[in-house]
Amino acid sequence: NLFKPLNLNGLRLKNRITMAPLYLGYAAEGGKISPLLLYHYKLMAQSGAAMIMVENASIAPGGCGSPRTIRCDHNRFIPGLARLAATIKDQKSLAGLQINHAGRFAHVADPVAPSPVAAFNRTPRALIRKEITTIAKQFAKAASRVKQAGFDLVELHGGTGYLLAQFVSPRTNRRTDGYGGELAHRLQFPLEVLKRVKDAVGDFPVGYRFLAEEWLPGGLKLEEPL
């Protein structure tokens, strides 16, 4: 069955093998698509995998995990992203792009998060409700750019401790408003992001990488999301 085609949410995969996103740090200055990125993903697509999911692209300048993170926060990045999508699809693989906000791990002077929980000797600033809404809109706009650039699907990065995961985790979300407390409330922001993204892209396929077990004291445990 591994090498049989699969129809999934309107996508036809030539087999059941996909490449998961992995941050490389190959982006050019300013988060642009570099020749090295194009070479790498062309090579990955030549592997025969049915789908290549490109590493996280930032949805906001303040959400970049590093200076070498791909960016998707402005229309000026669409031409480069389009070249990347075409490079993968030319090798007969589906092309996906993961979009992300790094939250407290952002490479900026004033990182933000659900709550002021320190990470690597820095304490992020807690987001106010207006900012939460702004970031949800930024996710939706970035997803629209992914679609416009010619990718086959977009994935929301809710894993590896970034902003969406920070809201779900009881370890990093200590809010007392509607976005904190019990799991249903901690899921509120990711669900709002997902709805705005779906409204923005229509029937375009949307995936979600979900961190179900943090393996950290006070963190999310597998039993809770199940």
CA–CA dist 85, 24 (Å, integer): 17
CA–CA dist 191, 136 (Å, integer): 10
Phi, psi (deg, nearest 5) at residue 81: -65, -35
Half-sphere exposure of residue 42, counting CA atoms within 13 Å on the CB side? 12
Annotated catalytic residue 162: yes
Candidates 193, 100, 210, 98; CA nearest to 158 is 210
CA–CA dist 20, 98 (Å, integer): 10
| Options 23, 26, 162, 179, the catalytic residue | 162
Q: Strands 11-13 and 6-8, how do they pair?
A: antiparallel
Residue 203 tokens, joined:
């029937």
CA–CA dist 75, 172 (Å, integer): 32
CA–CA dist 60, 81 (Å, integer): 16
Q: Which residues are catalytic?
A: 162
